[in-house]
Amino acid sequence: MKKKDIFTAPFVQEMEDTTANMYRLGWDERNGGNISYLLPEEEVAEYLDLHEVIRRIPTGFDAKPLIGKYFIVTGTGKYFKNVKGDPETNLGIIRIAEDGTTAELLWGFADGGRFTSELPAHLMSHISRLSVDPENRVVMHCHPTNLLAMTYVHPLDTNEFTHTLWQMSTECVVVFPDGVEVLPWMLCGTNAIGEATAECMTRARSVVWALHGLYGAGKTLDEAFGLVETVEKAATIYMLTAGLKRINTITDDQMKQLAVRFSITPRAGILK
Ligand code: 13P
Ligand code: ZN
């Protein structure tokens, strides 16, 4: 059967639109940020010959639970601002090979490039999220300005950080009842930060990398984007009010009322 034009694929166009929006919001300066998006084989097969592997690239870690899975991912060193207009250079479609440690490139990275340096954190996080939510498909990393600023002035305790963010706008507890996990500064691009992030991802869809940025996961690009957007909005309110005397707040009791109203269960151990 004749293959469809990959440039018309909804998953390519969604990646173009999402990276453009993230850039526009100031979350992804220069090459900052990366996205991985799990694609069903049938969908990829509409556009690509699955037997045609362009290159085999070692990943440097074992992703056995993802063998045979397909991802569209951003390239290392590539700028989010350039994805729309040249997706074939800035994005790639990979399949995790039978050995679990090789990525088979099926499309993209046209200038000889390779997947994001944060692939360990992405794939390990996919494994974690899929273990608690079989519908999860997206892992997204970026450098949102106010969230990043907040990690310089707020204690890096997961419960305290989550509580503060929940207080910053009424719908936070509804959008991320699982809270945000906070990791201390760690060397990025390593398997170690990947393992730590993935461990956090078993409990929450948002993981803060102190002094660096944020990871968000979701079933769709929209859902992961909306999560990051809401966390960053809360951090913005925090930074706008941090030096000021706060005379009003959302109370724990009010958050409990929201939980009932929206049928969500706030992460345990945070509300008094
Ligand atoms: P990449 O260009 O390798 O995706 O890295 C960007 C980044 O944000 C590292 O944390
Ligand atoms: Zn980063």
Q: pLDDT tens for the chain, 272 residues: list them.
A: 799 999 999 999 999 999 999 999 999 999 999 999 999 999 999 999 999 999 999 999 999 999 999 999 999 999 999 999 999 999 999 999 999 999 999 999 999 999 999 999 999 999 999 999 999 999 999 999 999 999 999 999 999 999 999 999 999 999 999 999 999 999 999 999 999 999 999 999 999 999 999 999 999 999 999 999 999 999 999 999 999 999 999 999 999 999 999 999 999 999 99
Nearest atom in ligand 1 to the alpha carbon of residue 74 is: 4
Question: Of the bound ligands, which one is closest to the alpha carbon of residue 90?
Answer: 1
C-alpha to C-alpha distance for 182 and 175, rounded to whole angstroms: 17
Identify whether 118 is a catalytic site residue.
yes
Spacing, Cα 85 to ligand 2 middle (Å): 23
Which of 14, 118, 181, 229 is the catalytic position?
118
In angstroms, the first-to-last Cα distance of the chain is 60
Q: Whose CA is nearest to atom 10 of ligand 1?
A: 188
Please state whether beta strands 34-39 and 70-74 pair in parallel, antiparallel, or not at all (unpaired): antiparallel
Question: Of the bound ligands, which one is closest to the alpha carbon of residue 214?
Answer: 2
Spacing, Cα 51 to ligand 1 middle (Å): 29
Pocket residue to mutate for ligand 1, from 188, 191, 211, most atoms within 8 A of Cβ: 188
Spacing, Cα 212 to ligand 2 middle (Å): 6
In this prediction, residue 157 carries a pLDDT of 98
In this prediction, residue 211 carries a pLDDT of 98
Identify whether the C-beta of residue 37 lies closer than 8 Å to the C-beta of residue 80: no
In this prediction, residue 1 carries a pLDDT of 78
Q: Whose CA is nearest to atom 1 of ligand 1?
A: 76
Q: Which two tokens stand for residue 117?
A: 């340096």
Q: Which residues line ligand 1 (CB under 6 A)?
A: 31-34, 74, 76-77, 116-118, 141, 188
Identify whether the C-beta of residue 138 lies closer than 8 Å to the C-beta of residue 224: yes
Question: Of the bound ligands, which one is closest to the alpha carbon of residue 211?
Answer: 2
